[in-house]
């Protein structure tokens, strides 16, 4: 039975733990034909203003202001003028932390994910809840020991070695990611 992952749970622990815990949960999008869902298979954590790879490392701006909101809202931004990127804000108010949703079953890569789910900046600041049209559900998937790999984050060399090498990217192994879920399309 599917259970909505509520906003309180998205700020009840540290961002790295939340990121890891999102694997095996389902990203769900309201569509005219009903909800479409796919299992989350890849994420990256960005934790606070001290994280040199985070958009918040240089302080609050118009672009990243939603990261300073309480956890449970979406942060969506345009990357390189091409790809929308979907992040789940996880920190308490005024502590900018978020998890980049990098992939779901059937759509590997953050740009492919947002295209498959028709996600744009209109979701920026929206609640991660059915009322916002995009949410996360726990459908009771149990991940086997060894199903999750931790690796360095991707594309953050500019943050310097100490931050770029943090193992804050979490990926389901191929066998664990096998699922009947598919993104809309």
Q: In the predicted model, is pLDDT for residue 114 greater than 50?
A: yes
- Going from N- to C-terminal start, the domains of the chain cover 3-173
Domain 3-173 has CATH 1.10.10.10: no
Q: Report d(CA 130, CA 27) in Å as an integer.
A: 11
Burial 134-148 (b: 16+ CB within 10 A, else e): bbbbbeebeeeeebb
Instruction: Place 185 in a pLDDT band, splitting at 50, 70 and 90.
Output: low
Lookup result for tokens 């996600």: 119
Winning range, highest mean pLDDT, from 56-60, 111-115, 143-147, 159-163:
111-115
Side-chain-side CA neighbours of residue 107 (13 Å): 26
Of the candidates 133, 138, 141, 85, which has an alpha carbon nearest to the alpha carbon of residue 109?
85
Residue 27, phi then psi, degrees to nearest 5: -85, 130
Residues in the chain: 185
pLDDT digits (tens, 9 = 90+) for 124-171: 999 999 999 999 999 999 998 899 999 999 989 889 888 999 999 999
Q: In the predicted model, is pLDDT for residue 180 greater than 50?
A: no
Instruction: Place 181 in a pLDDT band, splitting at 50, 70 and 90.
Output: very low
Q: What percent of the chain has pLDDT over 70?
A: 88
Average pLDDT over residues 46-51: 88
Q: What percent of the chain has pLDDT over 90?
A: 64
Taking the CA atoms of 128, 134, 140 and 143 in sequence, report the sign of the dihedral they define.
Answer: negative
- List CB contacts of 161: < 8 A, sequence separation 6 or more: none
Q: What is the pLDDT of residue 55?
A: 77
Q: Report d(CA 124, CA 129) in Å as an integer.
A: 13
- List CB contacts of 111: < 8 A, sequence separation 6 or more: 79, 82, 83, 84, 85
- List CB contacts of 9: < 8 A, sequence separation 6 or more: none
Q: What is the pLDDT of residue 117?
A: 96
């Amino acid at each position: 039975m599917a259970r909505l992952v509520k906003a309180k749970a998205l700020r009840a622990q540290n961002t790295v733990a939340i990121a890891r815990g999102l694997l095996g949960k389902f990203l769900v999008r309201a569509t005219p034909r009903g909800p479409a869902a796919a299992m989350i298979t890849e994420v990256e954590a960005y934790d606070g203003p001290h994280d040199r790879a985070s958009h918040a490392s240089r302080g609050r701006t118009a672009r990243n202001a939603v990261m300073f909101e309480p956890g449970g809202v979406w942060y969506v931004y345009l990357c390189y003028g091409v790809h929308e990127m979907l992040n789940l804000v996880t920190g308490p108010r005024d502590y900018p932390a978020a998890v980049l949703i990098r992939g779901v079953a059937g759509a590997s890569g953050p740009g492919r994910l947002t295209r498959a789910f028709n996600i744009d900046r209109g979701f920026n600041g929206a609640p991660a809840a059915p009322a916002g049209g995009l949410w996360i559900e726990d459908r009771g998937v149990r991940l086997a020991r060894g199903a999750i790999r931790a690796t360095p984050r991707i594309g953050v060399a500019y943050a310097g070695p100490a931050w770029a090498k943090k193992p804050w990217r979490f990926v389901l192994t191929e066998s664990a990611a096998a699922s009947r879920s598919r993104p809309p399309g």
